[in-house]
Chain A
Amino acid sequence: DIQMTQSPSSLSASVGDRLTITCRASQRINNYVNWYQQKPGKAPQLLIFAASSLRSGVPSRFSGSGSGTDFTLTISSLQPEDFASYFCQQSYSLPPTFGQGTKIEIK
C-alpha cells in the first residue's frame, strides 16, 4: 500500500495567516492526490482534486500543488471557517489511502 505522510499533524494559527500543509507519498503517484476538509462532527468535503484543481464552490484562498511524491495544500489567508482538519488522499493505486490528517486550531 502507498503510505501518505502528512505534516504537521496539528498547528495553531491566526486569522489571516498563510498556511501550508504537506503530504509525502511513499512512491511516485503522478498528480493523483486529493485534499479534503473535515469540520468537527461533519463529513469530509472535497477541496482539491488531481493535486491542483479547485472543486467548484471552494474559495480561491485554497490551492494545491505538487507532483511525484510531494504535495502541498496552501491556505493563503486563513478564515474563521477554515479551522478544521485536512486530509490528503492518493488515488494512484488500490487501496486508496489517506494521510493521517492535519488539525488547524485557533492560536
Chain B
Amino acid sequence: QMQVVESGGGLVKPGGSLRLSCKASGFTFSDYYMAWIRQAPGKGLEWVAYIGSSGADISYSDSVKGRFTISRDNADNSLYLQMNSLRAEDTALYYCARTETTSVGAWLDPWGQGTLVTVSS
C-alpha cells in the first residue's frame, strides 16, 4: 500500500541545522508532487513546502523561506527537507505527504507518521 516514512528529527540548538528525509513506497514517486507539513505541540497544521514531480516547481511558506530547502531524489523515492537557522518556533512534528494535484484542487494523501524536531538550547 501507499506509504511515506519520515526520519531525521531530533533535538537541535537555535541556529542549528537538521535534514529530514521521507521514504516513499507503494506508488510511483516520480509522478507526484510532495509536501512537508508541520504541527507544533498542541497546535494546528501548517504547510511548510511543496516540490513538483520533477523538482522544478517549488514553493515555501513565508515562515521558512530562505532557511529551509526542499528537494527530492526520484531514483531513490526520497524527499528531503534541509532546515537551517532553526528557531524555537520551528519546534514541531514534521509530516511528509504525497500531494494529489488535479483540476479540482490538491490534497494530501497519504501522510507519514511524522518526525519530531525540537529546537532548544
Contacts and interface: CB of A to CB of B under 8 A. Distances in A.
A80 to B, nearest CB: 22
A44 B111 contact: yes
Contacts of B110: 43, 45-46
Interface stretch (A20-28, A68-76, A96-104): A96-104
A91 B107 CA distance: 7
Contacts of A94: 59
Contacts of A89: 45, 107-108
A99 B43 CA distance: 11
A95 B65 CA distance: 12
Contacts of A46: 107-110
B47 A95 contact: yes
Contacts, number: 64
Main secondary structure, interface of A, reads loop
Contacts of A34: 105, 107-108
A34 B113 CA distance: 19
Given A44-B95, A87-B45, A96-B47, A50 B105 contact: yes
Nearest to B59: A94
Interface in A52-95: 55, 87, 89, 91-92, 94-95
Interface in B100-121: 100, 102, 104-114
A49 B108 CA distance: 9
Given A31-B104, A49-B105, A43 B112 contact: yes
